[in-house]
Amino acid sequence: MTLALLGTGLLGRAIAERLQSVGHSVTVYNRTTSKALPLQACGITVVTRPEQAIAQTDCVVLMLADAAAIRAVLLTPASLAVLRGKTVIQMGTIAQEESLALQAEIERVGGSYCEAPVLGSLAEAQTGTLFVMVGGTEGQFVQWNPLFRSLSREPRLIGSVGKAASLKLALNQLIAAEISAFALSLGLVQRAGVPVDTFMAILRESALFAPAFEKKLPRLLTRDYQHPNFSTRHLLKDVELFLKEASGYELTTS
């Protein structure tokens, strides 16, 4: 399958490498071209304009930071001019209303759109064990299943466009809530002089335990916050999107 991928940040880069490694032909675009150039060593084609990548394929995968970045890259006159007949698969984290607006813009110029946000990080992208949540039609899910299965053992069709976007925000809100709560509890244990090993031994055997705690513990203990797999800047953006959407459903968030 010939694919274009727009956005080679941490996860976008790992996804591009995974897709190329399992036999797809990948062309990438990144707004900072120099950050994408190392992908050439994997046989991936790097272009300097998004419309160059779009024109070479029937499928365009978006791994951009937010809706503003998508608009800046995809909804320009040059990009829109080559979208007719193409399918755009949005795999980043944006709000439901943003995804629906993007669908309308793409369909207006004769393209097709579905969303497929992913849950997981670099290791899961590299091994094809991400959770892929698809918002679109049954036909789109079947058509692009080879792509989804390159990244996930069991991709799921969640519903129509917008449903997967909302689910992804709900899951990312849990990331923020559980890790911040764990870090706060760990901080109290340390300052109170309680052995961390004792705290963790009890936590592991309880219903409170989450695997993410184990994963983050070494970094929290050493205060090593360099080279994160998921930046707090992007997580904060996702939480803000969650709060806005939750407010629209009259959920109490404070």
Every domain of the chain with CATH number 1.10.1040.10 lies at: 166-248
Residue 123: per-residue pLDDT: 94
- Residue range 2-159 forms a domain whose CATH class is alpha beta
Residue 230: per-residue pLDDT: 83
Residue 60: per-residue pLDDT: 99
Question: 41 near 151, Cβ under 8 Å?
Answer: no
Residue 53: per-residue pLDDT: 97
Residue 107: per-residue pLDDT: 98
Residue 244: per-residue pLDDT: 96
Classify domain 166-248 at the CATH superfamily level: N-(1-d-carboxylethyl)-l-norvaline Dehydrogenase; domain 2 (1.10.1040.10)
Note down pLDDT in tens along the chain; length 254 residues.
999 999 999 999 999 999 999 999 999 999 999 999 999 999 999 999 999 999 999 999 999 999 999 999 999 999 999 999 999 999 999 999 999 999 999 999 999 999 999 999 999 999 999 999 999 999 999 999 999 999 999 999 999 999 999 999 999 999 999 999 999 999 999 999 999 999 999 999 999 999 999 999 999 999 998 888 888 899 999 999 999 999 999 999 98
The tokens for 113 are: 């759109």
Residue 227: per-residue pLDDT: 85
Every domain of the chain with CATH number 3.40.50.720 lies at: 2-159
